[in-house]
Chains A and B, each alone.
Chain A
Amino acid sequence: MGDGGGHRATRIPRRGALPLVSLVIVGRGDWQLAHSRVASIVDECVRLRVEIVLARPAASPDADMLARTFPAATVVEAAPDASLGELRAVGMREVSGDVVMFLNDSDALDTAWLAALTRQAERESPASSEVAASQLAGPR
């Protein structure tokens, strides 16, 4: 890790747009655990437009099944002996979010937090910006 290779070095300011939220989930081949974790959150993530990236060791038996079962998620592979930290880093190279959350298969996602973040993002969307801009402009 840390070779500076594939991640996006330069990012363009996106003032006025929503912050993109990404979720990186890492695990080491426990299909049952991975399936139950992703299944429990995928609908909520799709609804909230949260990008999901699943990072697995290469040749992990669950990688293909996860990709087939959850087409909304992106599955990326790391070295076969990658540690959880290295899997996170591999996932990080794939995401495009301004806010990136990291979970292990065994962790539960705080969906209330995620929903609150998304509500805040919606409040600050371009549409609400226009409303506020009209407040700034005052009566014409």
Chain B
Amino acid sequence: MNAQSPIISIIVPVHQGGTVLRASLAAIAASDLPRELWELIVVDDASTDDTVIIAAEYADCLVRLPTRHGPAYARNRGVEMSRGSLLAFFDARVCPHPDALRRMVELLDAQPDVSAVFGAYDTKPAARGFVSQYRNLLHHYVHHRSAGEAETFWAGCGAIRRDVFMAAGMYDEWKYTRAQIEDVELGHRVRTLGNRILLEPAIQCTSMRRWRLRDVIRSDFKDRGVPWTRLLMQMRAMARTTTLNLATVEKLNTVLVWVAAGLLAVAAVTRSAIAGWATAGAILFLLASSAPFYSFLRRERGIAFALGAIPLHLLYYLNNGLAVAYGWLAHHTVGEPTPDALTQAFAEVGMQVWPPVRRGRTAHR
């Protein structure tokens, strides 16, 4: 915590960081942006392992939360301790490239009309398993394909101007109490205020996230698909949003995979040759529309990997379709959750204690 104010404050929320955290913080420390221009704030979200000891070796400031509140709350607490006019957020499971931080600063410096920028995974995810490789490469591919103007933000490796972040109302720590789409939702609010967000794939980081199949299914459904659908339904923006995983081709593929599944069921029950051929046609169309992704996988990992990824990719679309259906149903039956009266009242009078009461949604909108 040097006396000279840094240009950019890096905020890393972490829960049970373990050895992955050390690699991540070491990568940040290796940034080619001069050290006096940035500060590192680690927010420990009630870890019980060695997280705070590892963080202490690298951080300028460490915030320890006694109870777990999720990354949205943790990032907001980190921002409150920060001093930079720019805020960078890194996930504790990524290793930013040495030039990532400098690129963020240079881009925001060169383009005053851009309020936020985020990057992408590189093609060398650290986790070796097939599912981890597929999943991290899919993330890389989606971000590279969507380079340019963005409608969302990504807190895995992104930076935002402090004044814009505060004007947008920070992360919604009340609604998102675990890692979900809190950064996506922040991005929508930033855009609603008329600000620009850029996806710049040259800002790269290495993912260390390990994925198992059940993690993929659960995360895509529960933490991304359903909340994102509900958010878009609430914003009445389901059709017009075409960013990242909501690109037109992604929506088309999700519909196609369910059409194919339906036709397959009909073919199985009725023994109809027409339904069988229609199923094959739908799957062929689906494979053709995903061909650029499979071609990318073939270039990066070979033909066997690309072929092996096809079932996973079909499952991904099936899961997305389920999530959209569930989110739609939840939106029309349960509606949108609101803070309990006490949280809302605390937020409205601006009263906070340590750890601060979660911010009610209307308090910052």
Contacts and interface: CB of A to CB of B under 8 A. Distances in A.
B50 interface: yes
Contact of B49 (A4, A98, A107): A4
Say what secondary structure dominates the interface of chain B. Answer: loop
Given A7-B53, A92-B53, A124-B356, A99 B63 contact: yes
B349 interface: yes
B61 A124 contact: no
B109 interface: no
B5 interface: yes
A1 B354 contact: no
B53 A109 contact: no
B358 to A, nearest CB: 12
Contact of A103 (B1, B4, B19, B53): B1
Closest 3 pairs (CB-CB, A-B):
A85-B57, A92-B56, A132-B351
Given A4-B49, A113-B83, A136-B346, 14 more contacts: A1-B53, A3-B50, A10-B48, A13-B67, A88-B57, A89-B56, A92-B56, A98-B64, A98-B354, A99-B62, A100-B61, A102-B60, A107-B2, A128-B351
Interface of A: 1-4, 7, 9-19, 24, 85-86, 88-89, 91-93, 97-103, 107-111, 113, 117, 120-121, 124, 126, 128-129, 132-133, 135-136
Interface of B: 1-5, 19, 22, 46, 48-50, 52-54, 56-67, 80-81, 83, 345-346, 349-356
17 contacts: A1-B50, A2-B53, A2-B54, A10-B48, A13-B66, A13-B67, A13-B355, A17-B353, A89-B56, A91-B56, A98-B66, A99-B62, A102-B61, A107-B2, A109-B3, A110-B3, A129-B353
